[in-house]
Structure 1
Amino acid sequence: MFTRSLIPDREPARSPGRESARSRTMRAARQALRVLAAELGTPAGPGTPLFGNVHSRWLRRLPYIVACAFTVILLPSTGTVLSNYGMSGGLAVWLVGGLATAQTVPLLLAVTRPLQAWWVIFAADILCAMALTGADRIAGRAWPWPPPVVIGYLVLMLALSLRERRRTLMAVWLTTGVVGLLFAPVAPDRSHSTGVLLFVLTGVLLLMGAILRERGAVQRKLLEQETISEAERARRTLLEERARIARELHDVVAHHMSVITVQADSAPYRISGIPKEAQEEFGAIAATARESLAEMRRLLGVLRSEEAERHHGPEKTPQPGIGQLPKLVEGTVRAGVPVELALPEELPALEPAVDLSAYRIVQEALANVVRHAPGARTRVSVTATADRSRLTVLVVNSAPPAPSAPLETGGTGHGLIGMRERVRLVDGSLDTGPLPDGGFRVAARLPLSALPLSAKDSATA
């Protein structure tokens, strides 16, 4: 006879410290699984092919050639090996064909998207290992990863290591090892385990591929730095040369122009009895010198401006254009050259570069007439084509009215060279040459809209 206790049994009290440690462990495990899933589900970048940035065409095709070669070799060999394991007859034939295809064909996808290819191939490898667990002739054979599976997986690891981040590679490696360990307790009798072998070989290939990828990245960065350094040195040399030219212009040309201005302005006060016409001439000389000095200062500012070279920004002072041609012709007439100017009633809208080029061409042509054919009758005309696509600038002078020595006898030809360079920059054409009557002709054809630099480069290329 026994008595039943009416007092309920008490559960042993759990230690708060033990419960806290267990919760911390579970929390850390969940966090690790989230990180692992994030790394395995996030590719490193867009699906650009491996070696897609190299210049050699053969190197760009090499990943496709290797992937095709391994796919062609491993597809039939995987099916043959699985059949030798005892998976043959009936539905097993279809299973073998599906597994072999899923384990090899995604190698072609690995050229552009290796992480997505890994998901497909690794899932097929796991299904294959589970199917081989009950195979008839597995004794004495490799399991869970048959030899063709190991080879295809290592090829995939090489492609993966050349593309993905370190953390993704680590996640893939650990996942491979964990799955191999999970298969160990259910290994068939008398089979040779390849879980550790694949784990070790995968780690070696991932490490080698990551080293090669980082080495290539370092070399590319060094090459970029060298290119930047060379460009910086060339830019510094250009700025130094511009500063030197600006100093020479300031010290020589600007100084002389300032002297001319002062002398022309002070001539009526220093010399008595000067006729009114001569005073007006001195005033015109001073005004022209001041205008030239202002343009010289603007040019000096451009040459010394590092910001203008860096951003190609607009110059702060307005540039002369066709609208200033009457003033230019007036100054030339005061210099003793009869000039006739013909402009269209409505000036077409011009790009700043075209407008400036037209003005400078007329300016240089008139300066050549003053220097080499003083007193020659000159005609300047600016016309636009009927379709408003091109602008024609024509400067024609006759022979001097009387034989006289030119103001300058030793021309350098820099003026004509400068005109040709201006015309070429706006994608125009220039025709210059002497006339039968002893005169000279300058004809420039300019587009009403300047051709963008990129389009011009591609057209000339």
Structure 2
Amino acid sequence: MPVPPQLRALTRPLLGPAADHPPLLGTASRWWVRLLPYGVAVVLIAALLPTTTLLLAHDYRLNSGIAGALATAQTVPLVLAVSRPRHAWALIGSAHVLTALAVLTGPHTDSPWPWTPPGVVGYTFLMAALALRENRQTLVAVWLATGAAGFGIDAIVPGRVGTVMSVTAFTLSGAVLLLVAALRERAEAQRRLTEQEHISEAERARRTLLEERTRIARELHDVVAHHMSVITVQADSAPYRIDGLSEAAREEFAAIGTAARESLSEMRRLLGVLRSEDAQGERAPQPGLDRLPQLVEAVGRAGVPAELTVSDTVRALGPLPQAVDLSAYRIVQEALANVVRHAPGARTWVSATTSRSTEGAVELRITVVNSAPPRSTAGRRAAPVEPPGAGSGQGLVGMRERLRLLSGRLDAGPLPDGGFRIATAIPLDAPPDRPIAADREQEPAP
């Protein structure tokens, strides 16, 4: 039978979730976890409802119907505590007050009053649900209202045995509120700290990416400026090197030289923005694969035994495009720096070979593999220069950015023996007058 719209609109504010909070565990991915709080509430109701009814009817000598109604009011709203704990507290608290007043109308008994033992148990679980959802001000107000109601009703009839139960309910509810609220705030603080760490990590990666792009832009300026300078010199000297040029050809060469000089001026202005004032060393000639032996030797002096293998096909390539040559050197430089920082003393193998991609294009393959750090006589591995997680992955950001500009690929990851492997593939264009030989794909064995 469908629920009438009027009844649904009337019950939605009470039974629906709070506007500022979903139901307890309502965001869990598994359905049985979302239903778990309701299951706990149903179990409590099934245990407390008959117990409270019999206790009020026999020990407190209330009418059976009134006892059942009061017991229902004290226990059934526990289901509401899953989504609206404040509403549940208002209903259950009012039911306890009515029960205490109803007991006053009956014969005098020595049973605990104004709280019943089952009522204290249910109220304790209600406090736990309340502490998981509400702020500190609300929890303090609920705790003070609990004490005021208990001790206030207890003061009406001094002869009743009520002080012990009032103190028990007041103390137990306060302890549960304090403990659960503290655990909730601690979990919330840890969640916010984790979110902040993720945000900081993303910002650090973004900053590293921008810094690497700026560095690449500076280096590309040096590469492009060389070619533009050659164009300028050739255009300006063409009328003196070539006899019999027409006036139109001379004007064309002059226009080419003028355009090249203007382009160089624009690039120098951009370089002034990108290059810091103290980056004088960056104006030196940029390194390439021919500098790898010196780089490996320097790493060896730093305590990392490294071996370099350059295949004959790479040597036969001759001068590589400057962007490819510089990027290959920088990738090896960063990979070796990571070994020094994170795996001091580990044996390292660096190889430069050529291979063919699935499309048949020739690629320059740079591979850097290191073993696990060696163990000391005590069986402990050498401690890394940087603590775990410090700057983790930032060097890979720069490698990927360089390879992205060259349409290259990067494969990086740990090895089963505790080492690490970085493999790159940079496409090469074959010269028009001769093909490029390619090595069979091979990796150095750590």
Match of 2:196 in 1: 225
> Could you tell me whether the CA contact under 8 Å between 2:60 and 2:111 is conserved in 1?
no
Query: Percentage identity across aligned positions?
Result: 55
Cα displacement (A) at 1:174: 0.8
**Gap change, CA 1:107 and 1:299, over 3 Å in 2:** farther
Out of 32, 35, 41, the position equivalent to 1:67 is 41
Out of 113, 123, 131, the position equivalent to 1:143 is 113
Alignment: residue pair count: 268
Is residue 77 of structure 1 aligned with residue 51 of structure 2? yes
**Gap change, CA 1:129 and 1:295, over 3 Å in 2:** farther
Cα displacement (A) at 1:80: 2.1
**Gap change, CA 1:102 and 1:252, over 3 Å in 2:** same
**Counterparts of 2:193 and 2:70, CA distance in 1:** 45
**Counterparts of 2:266 and 2:84, CA distance in 1:** 60
TM-score, normalised by the number of residues in structure 2: 0.51
> Relative contact order, CA 8 A, sep 6+: which one is greater?
2
**Counterparts of 2:41 and 2:62, CA distance in 1:** 28
Is residue 175 of structure 1 aligned with residue 149 of structure 2? no
Is residue 103 of structure 1 aligned with residue 77 of structure 2? no
Cα displacement (A) at 1:85: 3.5
Deviations 1:273-307 (A, max 9, x none): 32457547646866986898799899989999xxx
Letter paired with 2:23:
P
Match of 2:221 in 1: 250
Match of 2:177 in 1: 206
Letter paired with 2:189:
V
Please list, as runs of the form range in 1=range in 2, the aligned pairs for 1:355-434 lying within 5 A after superposition: none
**Counterparts of 1:45 and 1:127, CA distance in 2:** 29
**Counterparts of 1:283 and 1:110, CA distance in 2:** 86
**Counterparts of 1:117 and 1:172, CA distance in 2:** 12
**Gap change, CA 1:206 and 1:86, over 3 Å in 2:** closer
| CA RMSD across the alignment | 4.0
Letter paired with 2:129:
A
Cα displacement (A) at 1:127: 0.9
Match of 1:159 in 2: 129
Match of 1:117 in 2: 88
Out of 219, 233, 239, the position equivalent to 2:210 is 239
**Counterparts of 2:258 and 2:85, CA distance in 1:** 75
Match of 1:127 in 2: 98
**Counterparts of 1:139 and 1:203, CA distance in 2:** 28
**Gap change, CA 1:418 and 1:227, over 3 Å in 2:** closer
Q: Which runs of 5+ in 1 are unaligned?
A: 1-42, 305-409, 422-461
> Could you tell me whether the CA contact under 8 Å between 2:236 and 2:253 is conserved in 1?
yes
Which secondary structure state, in structure 1, belongs to the residue aligned with residue 105 of structure 2? coil
**Gap change, CA 1:279 and 1:66, over 3 Å in 2:** farther
**Counterparts of 2:44 and 2:261, CA distance in 1:** 80
**Gap change, CA 1:284 and 1:173, over 3 Å in 2:** same
- For the pair shown, the structure with the greater C-alpha radius of gyration is 1
Match of 2:155 in 1: 185
**Counterparts of 1:276 and 1:122, CA distance in 2:** 104
Deviations 1:140-163 (A, max 9, x none): 211111112111111010111111
Letter paired with 2:144:
L
Is residue 268 of structure 1 aligned with residue 239 of structure 2? yes
> Could you tell me whether the CA contact under 8 Å between 2:18 and 2:84 is conserved in 1?
no
Which secondary structure state, in structure 2, belongs to the residue aligned with residue 213 of structure 1? helix
Match of 2:309 in 1: none
Q: Which runs of 5+ in 2 are unaligned?
A: 1-16, 276-360, 365-403, 409-446
Cα displacement (A) at 1:195: 1.1
**Gap change, CA 1:86 and 1:412, over 3 Å in 2:** closer
Cα displacement (A) at 1:133: 1.3
Which secondary structure state, in structure 1, belongs to the residue aligned with residue 22 of structure 2? coil
Deviations 1:80-115 (A, max 9, x none): 2222245555xx50x333322221222112112211
